[in-house]
Chains A and B, each alone.
Chain A
């Protein structure tokens, strides 16, 4: 249960970007969460809402995008999207779709990124 500390780090990142760009309000935030992280997007969203209270982020729309798992198979050299065994939840076992192997290098799927923010700012800053 490290969603709270991750949510705090996300909020800090957003606030930093908002301040640097002289935001008066944050309208929308897009966050990317890799499917191999141990982060539950529902919990994360709840905690972001809690931490946003009383800040520029308070009324922002928070969009959480899943990042699928891409791999490089060490056995058959396949590169691309992985098959995930049990992909209905966030504890996927990664498989190579070409040879079924599990000896794979993970290229994507471990992200926890603030992708972009949409802000409102005074026109004088333009």
Chain B
């Protein structure tokens, strides 16, 4: 004889990631490391921005370079003489708290003040995965088109700072960068949005100030 049974499971797969994220933040807090999850579109300038911040900021910096194949970005960061841990996601489109936890074991946390975690270039998937960082900075650029923000609202709702890069190219690609700023403000009215050009240096000091302000308020 067979019988039918209802089994209550109530297991949330997202909760497992959030628990690990909280654990990561505790590990970081223990060594007083402030961490920034850098998310953004492919080719928006995440790596270049982090490189420039390493050179300009008065902090000891470490970087977790997350990518489908991470060795290219990791190699760029290593040239700036900072500790770097590469994280290959393989077929996955985002970092998760579990991967970051592994990378934290290989990072000399006692030697650094700020940890930049460069996420995979993607405006969709990272939204679902908290890494345990203290701040999330979204980097996009005008070359992705001025409807990028409207099409990916949630990542801007979940971020603490938005950088719109390559604004020197806006007219060349027929993009209204003010529209991009307004779209972010529509989704997240309180957030600071900074227009930058890493080529000309426009807005870069503002990015440093914004991160500094966030660190001091932390």
Q: Which residues of A contact B (CB under 8 A)?
A: 1-2, 5-6, 9-10, 13-14, 17-18, 21, 23-24, 27, 34, 36-39, 86, 91-94, 102-103, 110-123, 126
Contact = CB atoms under 8 A, between A and B. Distances in A.
Contacts of B172: none
Interface stretch (B59-67, B77-85, B149-157): B149-157
A121 B1 CA distance: 9
B108 interface: no
Nearest to A101: B189
B124 interface: yes
A93 B125 contact: no
B5 interface: yes
Contacts of B6: 116-118
Given A2-B128, A94-B157, A112-B12, 14 more contacts: A2-B94, A9-B13, A24-B2, A38-B124, A93-B153, A93-B157, A103-B190, A111-B14, A113-B14, A116-B6, A116-B9, A118-B7, A121-B2, A123-B2
Given A2-B93, A2-B128, A36-B154, A21 B5 contact: yes
Contacts of A113: 9-14
Interface of B: 1-14, 92-94, 124-125, 127-128, 151-154, 157, 186-190
Main secondary structure of the interface of A (DSSP, over half): mixed
A109 B190 CA distance: 22
B128 A102 contact: no
Given A1-B93, A6-B13, A117 B3 contact: no
A65 B3 CA distance: 26
B163 to A, nearest CB: 20
9 closest A-B pairs (Cβ-Cβ)?
Answer: A123-B1, A113-B12, A114-B9, A112-B13, A9-B13, A17-B9, A13-B11, A112-B14, A116-B8
A40 to B, nearest CB: 10
A91 B153 contact: yes
B7 A37 contact: no
Contact of B7 (A93, A116, A123): A116
Given A21-B7, A122-B1, A102 B189 contact: yes
A92 B127 CA distance: 13
A14 B7 CA distance: 10
A1 B125 CA distance: 7
A27 to B, nearest CB: 7
Contacts of B153: 86, 91-93
A10 B2 CA distance: 26
A123 B3 contact: yes
A115 B7 contact: no
B9 A115 contact: yes
Given A39-B128, A93-B187, A117-B7, A122 B2 contact: yes
A119 B188 contact: no
B13 A10 contact: yes
